[in-house]
Chains A and B, each alone.
Chain A
């Protein structure tokens, strides 16, 4: 069973993602903030992947992505975004790509899109 950390500050969005993944044998851990997500990543050695929203209310996910790439280079990461404040999805994708190689999911997406992204995340 794959253990997935889901980072999104919108509880409804997290709920939808958990619903998408639960039926496929994924064990989901939820986080609503970058700070909590960092703590989980540091302390949970059994994570198989991270699915995170790039634009959170408190900040963008760049600091977390940099830390993940520095300390957990082998951890598959799926970034999801519907664009940010005055920033297109394309620019969001490029900002993340500067940090490293991630699977990128454009919102809205289907359950099949998410499963596919987690399954084929390349490093």
Chain B
């Protein structure tokens, strides 16, 4: 790589709508999230499968169809159906006929499914957050809520630039 090329690459961040510190913070958030689901072995419960198990733990009985799960998670039917099939193979959930609609089936947690929820990897970080002082916890809640809200309302055209790096 020539010196002139190196200079060109180093000058790029100045044009980006964030500073280095913000990028570092974002990367730390990414590291935390990736660290939660460390296991990549096929016999472990995967992220989407955890989301489904958590949903089934709390949803009303009538809302435990694959369609409702997909709608809740903001996904299409196919990936949710595939994930549910894997959970059925692992005996963590079971399908039963929907008493309110003969055409659909309800997905229910088995006793094994209930048991594995005790080992939900998100519990570790939830416990860490619980240990934070109350005011710091509230601040963290507010910051993450603001980030999600901003993300939801942001469009490509209205991103602000901040090039103080």
Q: In the complex the two chains form, is A95's CB within 8 Å of B145's CB? A: yes
Q: Which residues of A contact B141 (CB under 8 A)?
A: 98
Chain B interface SS verdict (over half): helix
A65 to B94, CA, bound (A): 36
Interface size on A, residues (CB 8 A): 24
Q: Which residues of A contact B71 (CB under 8 A)?
A: 82-83, 89, 106
Q: How far is the CB of A82 from chain B (nearest CB, A)?
A: 8
- Is A71 on the interface with B (CB-CB < 8 A)? no
Q: Which residues of B contact A86 (CB under 8 A)?
A: 151-153
A82 to B148, CA, bound (A): 17
Give A95's nearest chain B residue, CB to CB.
B145
Q: In the complex the two chains form, is A88's CB within 8 Å of B74's CB? A: yes
What is the size category of the interface that chain B forms with chain A? 20 to 34
Q: Which residues of B contact A91 (CB under 8 A)?
A: 74, 148, 152
Binds B, one of A10-18, A21-29, A41-49, A107-115: A107-115
Chain A interface SS verdict (over half): mixed
Taking A87-B152, A106-B68 as known contacts, 14 extra A-B pairs with beta carbons closer than 8 A to each other, sorted by chain A number, are A83-B74, A84-B152, A86-B152, A87-B148, A90-B55, A90-B74, A91-B148, A91-B152, A98-B141, A106-B59, A106-B71, A109-B60, A109-B63, A112-B62
User: B residues near A, CB below 8 A?
Assistant: 51, 55, 58-60, 62-63, 68, 71-74, 100, 141, 144-145, 148-149, 151-153
